[in-house]
Amino acid sequence: MDEEISIMLPDHYHTLINSINEMFYVIDRDYNVILINKIMNDNLKKLNLDVEPIGKKIFDIFPFYTDQHRNEYESVFSTGKELETSEFTVINNIKYHTKIKKIPVFLKGEVKQIITIVNNISNQKEKEQKLLDFVVKTEKQNKELKILNKIIALGNESNNLQNFLENSFDIILEQIGFEKGSIYLHDTKSNQIKLVFHKNLPPDFIKAMKDLDLSSEPWNSIFKKEDPVIIEDFSTFNLKELETDIKTTLILPLQARGEFIGNFYFWSSHLDTYNQEQVDFLINIGKQISLIIKKFQVEGKLKEIEKKWNALITNSPDFILIVDRNYIMKFINRTFPPDLPEDFIGKSVLSFAAIDTRKTIKESIDIVFNYGTPYSLEMIRELPAYGQRWFQIKILPIKSEGQVIETILICTDVTENKIYQDKIKESEEKYRTILEQSILGIFILQDNKVKFTSRGMAKICEFSMEELNTWTVKNLTDYLHPDDKENVVQRMVRFQQLDPNITPQNTYRIFTKSGKIRWLNSFTNMIHYEGKPAMMVLALDATDQMEAKLKISESEEKYRTILEQSIVGIFIIQDNAVKFTSQGMSKINEFSIEELNSWTIKDFNDTLYPDDRERVLKRIAEFQQLDPNITPLNTFRIFTKSRKIKWINSYTNIIHYQEKPAMMVLAFDATEQMEAKLKILESEEKYKEAYNRVNFYKDLFTHDINNILQNILSSSELLLLYCKKFDFSENIKEKINVIINQIDRGAKLVENVHKLSNIEESEINLEPIELIQELKKAMINIQEGYAEKDIEYHLDSFEEAIDVTADKFLIDIFENILINAAKYNDNAIVVIEIKISRFYQDNDKFIKIEIIDNGRGIEDIKKQLIFKRTEQTEIIGSGMGLGLSLVKAIIQKYGGTIWIEDRIKGDYKKGSNFILLIPEVDKDS
């Protein structure tokens, strides 16, 4: 009869049964399946179970059914009551959570069939478990965070390192449940590990630990470990004579920035085990304590540095002042007696300056405050009992967060130097007379003009001195031989740039006024002429060298007078003895001319720097052997009479002196030049190191911040799902959505900062980019990102496809501007009109893009600030400044520009017009 009922069910009942969304089947009193719906049947196929269940026993179809299932069915058959159960089953290595309802079917008052409804709740169970895990993890993290914050607070509040160590040690003991412990710190000066604190340890234990050789095993290995060490056998420490109840030892290493600081030791009389989470927590505690210990150590060093710095300033021979923006003196290290420093503090620096110099001093301080660059000036001050004094004042900026907050004035008394300079100027006229009569051709060039010419130069090039003194550098280069012009001009530029690698000697050809070609041997040097930098060129006519040698021989005494007064150091060595020495050489090596003229070659060699001696002696030998391949120029070091080390640039040549071959050495003091070169090289290395470190921390910061934002985002989204499922209030959901939106903004800010940094530091690879396609992509992205807003685009372009010179960041430019147009717009319909046209500027072809919106607009005062990355952009609007500074940086890399106008001229509230000029690809080139 039961089978008849099943078979006789009308077709529309079968259709109705198969439309039910839950799995179910019907069994008879013999546990045979008499009815099953389509969903149940499809799931059997997925599980590779019996796909033709009708007529088969339920226990054959589901082999994992147990006696418990049979008893449940028997209970329903016998009692006639519904039964609902929840089950966990693993089928084909897949976990299933199901809720099963067994419903009796009565025929003539007896239960003849059971309808079984199966509801798969695996996803619900999985979500519930994840939420539970999240809550447990959050509670644990909050607890650990409180402990870390407590330790950080101790580090900030403690007066000294010992106090901090004792208090933080108690916190950890309480957290891990240990009874006793000790702290060992690494003394970097002695490179030893020392016990600095202990708690609840008996005297014999402390003594035994102090007597340990910590460089031996297992201690040496333990101290070198970076992770916590747990030892459950105290015999490991080889302290057999020590009676103790210790069973577990926990060792927490202290390291900061890769530097070993010390260890925390915790001792317990019971056995403990630690999982990885507990170990990770201890590692975090160790890192935080290590940083605080390092902080105490660094603060101690800073105090020492500050003490030394104060002593240095106090004892400085210069007058050092600190002056604020209102010209008030905050500090002064010393004064002229009988005045005292405290008489000046809190008063205006201008009130102590002479009346006629106050304006100059005020303007100079203003320059440093306004531009943030050092400034120098000189002034005269009449002081009672000291007379007229000259001061050189250097004004240096003191900055905080990029802004000048105060200035340092370093006042140096240069009165003696001024007197000396006046004497030099007085003797200059004497030397001018000598130089004008010299057969040496002398040019002094300053501000691209000839400032002085000797008669010797007029004679060489056949122009009068009057003509030469009206020349510019262009006139001079016009008379250079074409084959030598480029070389001479380049050398002049390098001299003006103070290139330390340029040699002073050169040989080249010129045209005289009559068109003759003459060879010149020249020596070029940068000098100070009339208080300003100038280039001095000494030139000799080398056209007829033999004739020149004869003339030099005939007028030896004349040249001796000139050479003895020259700043160039000159040696003439003949027969291994010094035959002639100039005053310049005496000044360089600090020996008198009488001493130098008594030297042999050995005395000369003894002054050579050891590292350079072999090379110089070898070159001397090669010159004496008339080696044609040896170059006359050389650079080496010498010891002066006072044992100072000086660098020498030399020019060596074999000459005839008193009718015999001799070696002449022209020497120039290059000490300042070489030291500056070495400092530049050292500075370059430091710059490269600092640059790499900044990039490392920048990438590390970007990576870590993104990870933190992602973790917060995942937790917020999970919490939002939980709120929706359990019907939390809309206020809570709204707050969570605010969090998610702020995370998105934070991620975008990090991305923009990273992009901007990379754009500023790297070369952009420009290529032809199709502008319209990139613009439309950006329009679609903004339309989707601001789906809650009604945005209308109106695109008007002179061509359908336009290639511009740009790169992959072009779409970022458009998205940034379109986001501002949509975001800062209060209208019901956001209207964005885009006009594209061709624009010519200085014969260059650009594409002009105008993006016009009907938003809030931008005030005139903010139109320039909006593209700057400073604190001023805070007044513009949240998030806008950095994005547009990125836009401007990218466009400038393209060779283009960007600016903002009002949509309706004179009324900024009607909207903005962002105008971009981007170079167009020249299809004809």
- Which strands form 110-120's sheet, in the order they lie side by side? 33-36, 23-28, 110-120, 94-107, 83-91
Choose from 267-276, 614-623, 878-887, 904-913 the range with maximum mean pLDDT.
Answer: 904-913
| Number of neighbours of residue 9 by Cβ within 10 angstroms | 12
Between 311 and 36, the higher pLDDT residue: 36
Compute the Cα dihedral for 634, 635, 637, 641 and give only its sign.
positive
Distance CA 870, CA 868 (A): 6
- Considering only CA atoms, which of 392, 394, 417, 396 is closest in space to residue 405? 396
Between 10 and 513, the higher pLDDT residue: 513
Distance CA 199, CA 170 (A): 9
- Which strands form 844-853's sheet, in the order they lie side by side? 790-797, 829-841, 844-853, 907-919, 897-904
- Considering only CA atoms, which of 471, 434, 479, 474 is closest in space to residue 452? 471
Is the whole model's pTM more than 0.75, yes or no? no
152-161, 204-213, 344-353, 622-631, range with the lowest pLDDT: 204-213
What is the phi/psi pair of residue 835, to 5°? Answer: -110, 130
In the 8-state DSSP scheme, what is residue 496? H
Choose from 217-221, 433-437, 634-638 the range with maximum mean pLDDT.
Answer: 634-638
In the 8-state DSSP scheme, what is residue 424? H
- Considering only CA atoms, which of 811, 741, 743, 747 is closest in space to residue 773? 811
Quote the tokens at residue 883. 């994005």
pLDDT value at position 878?
A: 40
Distance CA 411, CA 319 (A): 5
Between 33 and 125, the higher pLDDT residue: 33
Give the confidence band of 146 by pLDDT, cuts at 50, 70, 90: confident
For residue range 543-578, list pLDDT tens digits in order.
877 455 555 555 666 666 666 566 788 888 888 899
What is the phi/psi pair of residue 659, to 5°? Answer: 65, 20
Indicate whether 3 pLDDT > 70.
no
Residue 601, classed as helix, strand or coil, is helix
DSSP string computed for 189-214: TTTEEEEEEEES--HHHHHHHHTS-T
pLDDT value at position 172?
A: 78
For residue range 133-145, list pLDDT tens digits in order.
777 777 777 777 8
Q: Would strands 192-199 and 229-231 be described as parallel, antiparallel, or unpaired?
A: unpaired
Alpha carbon distances (Å) from 57 to 97, 101, 568: 23, 18, 118
For residue range 316-359, list pLDDT tens digits in order.
778 888 999 999 988 888 776 667 777 788 889 888 788 888 89
Between 226 and 150, the higher pLDDT residue: 150
Between 128 and 412, the higher pLDDT residue: 412
pLDDT value at position 637?
A: 94
- The one-letter amino acid code at 81 reads K
Distance CA 724, CA 127 (A): 13
Reported as half-sphere exposure (CB side, CA atoms, 13 A), residue 852 has a value of 15
In the chain, what percentage of residues exceed pLDDT 70?
81
Indicate whether 10 pLDDT > 60.
no
Between 354 and 118, the higher pLDDT residue: 118
Catalogue all structural domains in the chain, each as residue range(s) with its CATH number.
2-120 (3.30.450.20), 148-305 (3.30.450.40), 316-415 (3.30.450.20), 453-543 (3.30.450.20), 675-747 (no CATH), 763-919 (3.30.565.10)
Residue 538, classed as helix, strand or coil, is strand
pLDDT value at position 784?
A: 87
pLDDT value at position 791?
A: 94
pLDDT value at position 34?
A: 92
pLDDT value at position 875?
A: 36
